[in-house]
């Protein structure tokens, strides 16, 4: 076998793997989209491309008086934006402290961050439930936001701390010579240069409330406080309301804000540290 033939086979193998992964990812999405356009209610017998497709389920979600979909959407957006903003703020502050300062317990704190990631979140569910009940934040969006923010700090702070370590300390020293304080260095130097990793933290924490079901299921009790994942579950969970087509329509619309945020942050996700440090 010649080198050229071997190279061609390797390229074909790579494209074959990409094609398989593309089908695995795209097939469920197309099936869900087709199901949401099916005017019926059953999961069985529905075609991927319905013959008599309709937007009746989307109309029901937005305009029917008995639908709480818009309320669930609003709750989820509130939780997502608050979680994303405060997670980026607290994570960056914690990471900056561990990256630039030397203090007692610093190394043990980093080890603790790694150790906390070794245990599943389900282990803390009972403790979180009791804690929120004691402080009166059970069945509230505020309590859910606090839990999401606290859970985002350990792993994300460790990642952002590693990114801060790559930023030359000479920039800090030059700013101190010019009279800048710690907070000014943090906000005017560190944060702008760390936009790529902070964009990743913001995106992942924005996505979490849209995707998570277990934590809202434990914390939230009132239907008016439900998030999308918890509210949509009722479409297929109730004994006499197994409406998979409405569930599919509601699930498709979840991608809209996530895709929007991704497009807004895309230029930061693909930008490098070097280009950010050499501009300006």
Which of 18, 33, 60 corresponds to the end of one domain?
60
Under the banding of pLDDT at 50, 70 and 90, the label for residue 67 is confident
Residue 27 shares a structural domain with residue 161: no
How many structural domains comprise the chain? Answer: 2
DSSP letter at 199?
H
Check pLDDT > 50 for residue 277: no
- Least confident residue range of 3-7, 34-38, 67-71: 3-7
pLDDT digits (tens, 9 = 90+) for 14-59: 999 999 988 888 888 888 888 888 877 666 655 667 677 888 888 8
Pick from 27, 29, 49, 28: which is nearest to 38 by CA?
Answer: 49
Residue pointed to by tokens 């990642």: 159
Give residue 7's domain range: 3-60
pLDDT digits (tens, 9 = 90+) for 194-253: 888 898 899 999 999 998 888 999 899 888 999 999 988 877 776 545 678 888 888 888
The interaxial angle of helices 244-253 and 56-63, nearest 10 deg, is: 70
Residue 129 shares a structural domain with residue 11: no
> In Å, what is the CA distance from 5 to each residue of 1, 17, 45?
6, 18, 47
pLDDT at position 268 is 75
pLDDT digits (tens, 9 = 90+) for 102-112: 888 888 888 88
- More confident site: 120 or 185: 185
Check pLDDT > 90 for residue 80: yes
pLDDT at position 81 is 95
Residue 183 shares a structural domain with residue 202: yes
Under the banding of pLDDT at 50, 70 and 90, the label for residue 70 is very high
pLDDT at position 259 is 86
Residue 92 shares a structural domain with residue 129: yes
Residue 137 shares a structural domain with residue 207: yes
Residue 177 shares a structural domain with residue 262: yes
- More confident site: 80 or 7: 80
Residue 173 shares a structural domain with residue 238: yes
pLDDT digits (tens, 9 = 90+) for 124-159: 888 888 999 999 999 999 999 999 998 888 888 888
Mean pLDDT of 79-101: 93
pLDDT at position 176 is 86
d(CA 161, CA 92): 8
Residue 208 shares a structural domain with residue 99: yes
What residues contact residue 235 under an 8 Å CB cut-off, 6+ apart?
241, 242, 243, 244, 246, 247, 250
Conformation bin of residue 76: beta by default, left when phi > 0, alpha when psi is -120 to 50: alpha
Question: Percent of the chain having pLDDT more than 90?
Answer: 22
- More confident site: 258 or 117: 258
pLDDT at position 141 is 94
Residue 134 shares a structural domain with residue 269: yes
pLDDT at position 275 is 36
Token representation of residue 110: 């980093």
> What's the CATH code of the domain at 175?
1.10.3720.10
pLDDT at position 84 is 94
Residue 49 shares a structural domain with residue 91: no
Residue 268 shares a structural domain with residue 217: yes
pLDDT digits (tens, 9 = 90+) for 152-169: 888 888 888 888 888 888
CB 208 within 8 A of CB 145: no
């Amino acid at each position: 076998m010649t080198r050229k033939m071997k190279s061609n086979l390797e390229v074909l193998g790579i494209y074959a793997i990409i094609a398989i992964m593309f089908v695995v990812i795209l097939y469920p999405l197309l099936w869900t989209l087709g199901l949401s356009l099916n005017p019926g209610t059953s999961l069985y017998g529905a075609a991927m491309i319905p013959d008599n497709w309709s937007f009746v389920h989307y109309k029901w979600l937005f305009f029917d008086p008995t639908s709480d979909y818009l309320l669930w959407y609003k709750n989820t957006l509130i939780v997502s934006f608050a979680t994303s903003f405060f997670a980026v703020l607290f994570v960056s502050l914690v990471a900056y402290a561990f990256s630039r300062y030397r203090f007692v317990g610093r190394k043990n704190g980093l080890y603790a961050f790694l150790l906390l990631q070794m245990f599943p979140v389900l282990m803390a569910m009972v403790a979180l439930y009791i804690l929120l009940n004691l402080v009166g934040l059970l069945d509230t969006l505020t309590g859910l936001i606090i839990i999401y923010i606290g859970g985002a700090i350990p792993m994300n702070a460790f990642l952002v701390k590693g990114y801060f370590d790559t930023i030359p300390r000479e920039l800090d020293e030059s700013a101190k010579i010019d009279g800048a304080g710690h907070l000014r260095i943090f906000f005017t130097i560190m944060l702008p240069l760390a936009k790529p990793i902070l964009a990743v933290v913001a995106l992942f924490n924005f996505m979490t409330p849209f995707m998570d079901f277990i934590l809202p299921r434990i914390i939230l009790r009132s239907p008016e406080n439900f998030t999308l994942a918890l509210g949509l579950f009722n479409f297929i969970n109730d004994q006499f309301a197994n409406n998979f087509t409405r569930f599919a329509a509601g699930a498709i619309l979840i991608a809209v804000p996530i895709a929007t945020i991704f497009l807004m942050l895309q230029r930061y996700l693909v930008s490098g540290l070097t280009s950010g440090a050499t501009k300006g």
